[in-house]
Structure 1
């Protein structure tokens, strides 16, 4: 469900060179193989060619097409379709806003990404995915305190989210809170995260 070890660039202040780090990213609509990329491209073509059912194109049609475009990294196209989905009264409005926010984040619009995650939370303050996704946008902007706070919110809602512990540990390490990082890695290990176990051995033992 989640793509592991995704390289994310972040800034550590205006005068410090940006570096790469590894975070686990949310969410459920990530492509994991070339075959799936090809499949997503085929689905986009099939949806575009299906002119016989224009009247049946509800928000789910546009949301699914947006997901297909997201999976092949066509973020601008995905945003257009998420906009269309939002204009058709989606029942899962928090999900649509959150996914549009992810597309904006991946296209470099971090402020827009955060705004969309905020909108998702306006509709559902307990929508953990929006906190998780907002944290990654804040991380990319160098707002490490804000990213940590959002991962903490995820864990209040779902204490068994090992990825939130893993990512929060990573950010704590970046801000030189190694004790806090080790504590979070241990919690991730307790939840079955093998990668956190490796980092725990490398940094804390």
Structure 2
């Protein structure tokens, strides 16, 4: 039994490492050569440990909600040497530079500044919270949640971290968690109108989701792709396909060989889900679950890589998005 437990923990660790490498490959901060190296590293780990990010069974049994980077940063917070006055001063300078970048919507550069600030002073909750705000602006909601969790490990009464966690959970359509986060934020900042409004939005969306029929689950910037495509009979699909921004974005991503490989793989899987080529060789239809999962990953990658264009499309097609908290970054410490 101990051996089985150790093996399971090791596979969860590898899955978390693969998730981290995948996030790095999709990051704007990594150049094309580095991305190729990361892809090779990913393939090696998958082959050695028989673990795959695209395997539904692995995703179900090996996924852990806290990222490996967040776990490591939590360890550093608890065990690192005390921060020197010089490091504190440099961290504050980097944070202020990140705040200025946020004002001009240079979000990836702001993430880099906040990350450098954290490296100089990993015990300051503000830096994690500000980085969470930048991640949310880029559509990296799971990374925003990781940063909010780190901030709350340092200061569990930090209302802004609770509020930003609520925003990220709302964007991910995890409304119950969003409601809980906003209620916590209001517990420590009861007069904050932004938290009250966002809590109401999350509660309304939760009620709407509870009464709505099930959908495909694939979303693009808060727009349900199943609902979006389901309007074909009423002319909705024609409107979408005639939109030049949508078509330019679709063309761009269909030229990506990784996306086309994922599409081909999804189409070749049969309903047995074992990865066989039943979709082409034995007459069985493609695995729809695999196809929808591929669509979900495509939607997430589109919003990660071009959040501004997604925002424009959301406005054109009426996607619903809750208001942001009033402040995106903070000038002082918590």
Q: So what's the TM-score if we normalise by structure 1?
A: 0.55
Distance in 2 of aligned mates of 1:160 and 1:57: 32
Aligned to 2:101: 69
Q: Answer yes or no: is 1:113 the counterpart of 2:144.
A: yes
The structure whose Rg is larger is 2
Question: Does 2:183 match 1:152?
Answer: yes
- Following TM superposition, where does structure 1 have runs of at least 4 consecutive aligned residues deviating by more than 6 angstroms? none
Q: Is the 8 A contact 1:59 1:90 kept in 2?
A: no
CA–CA distance in structure 2, aligned partners of residues 78 and 122 of structure 1:
22
1:157 CA displacement: 1.4
More strand by share: 1
1:169 has 2:200 as partner: yes
Question: Normalised by the size of structure 2, how large is the TM-score?
Answer: 0.35
Whether the 8 Å CA contact 2:176–2:206 is kept in 1: the answer is no
- Provide, for residues 104-142 of structure 1, a one-character-per-residue CA deviation record: whole Å limited to 9, x for no partner: 111111110000000000000000000001100111111
Consecutive unaligned residues of structure 2, counting only runs of 5 or more, are 1-86, 209-334
Residue segments in structure 1 that go unaligned for 5+ positions in a row: 1-54, 178-205
Equivalent residues of 2:91, 2:118 under 8 A apart: yes
1:1-205 residue pairs with structure 2 within 5 A? 58-89=90-121, 93-176=124-207
Mapped partners of 2:117, 2:207: distance in 1: 43
User: 2-side partners of 1:56 and 1:171: how far apart?
Assistant: 37
Mapped to 2, the partners of 1:81 and 1:175 lie a distance apart of 35
Tell me, in whole angstroms, the C-alpha distance in 2 between the residues paired with 1:143 and 1:122. 21
User: Which SS does the other structure have where 1:126 is aligned?
Assistant: coil
Q: Distance in 2 between matches of 1:119 and 1:67?
A: 19
Q: Which residue of 2 aligns with 1:183?
A: none
User: Could you say what the CA RMSD is over the residues aligned between the two structures, in angstroms?
Assistant: 2.1
State the secondary structure of the residue aligned to 1:176. Answer: helix
